[in-house]
Structure 1
Amino acid sequence: MKGRIAAIVMAVLLALYLALIGTRAVQFILTGEPVAIGIGVALIVLPVIGAWALWRELEFGFRSQELVRRLDEAGEADLGLPRSPSGRVDRQAADDAFDRFRTDAEARPDSWQAWLRLGLAYDAAGDRRRARRAVRQAIGLERAAR
Structure 2
Amino acid sequence: MRRLAFPSLASAGLLLVLALPVAPALTGCDSSDPVSCDAGGELDIVDTTPEGTRLGARITATDCVYLTYEGRLDATGEAFDRNERAPLSISGTVPGFQQAVVGRRVGESVRVTIPPTLGYGARRRDSGPLGVEIPSCSTLQFDVTIGDTAPPSVCENR
Q: With structure 2 as the length reference, what TM-score do the two structures score? A: 0.24
Higher relative helix content = 1
Structure of higher RCO (CA pairs closer than 8 Å, 6+ residues apart): 2
Higher relative strand content = 2
Q: With structure 1 as the length reference, what TM-score do the two structures score? A: 0.25
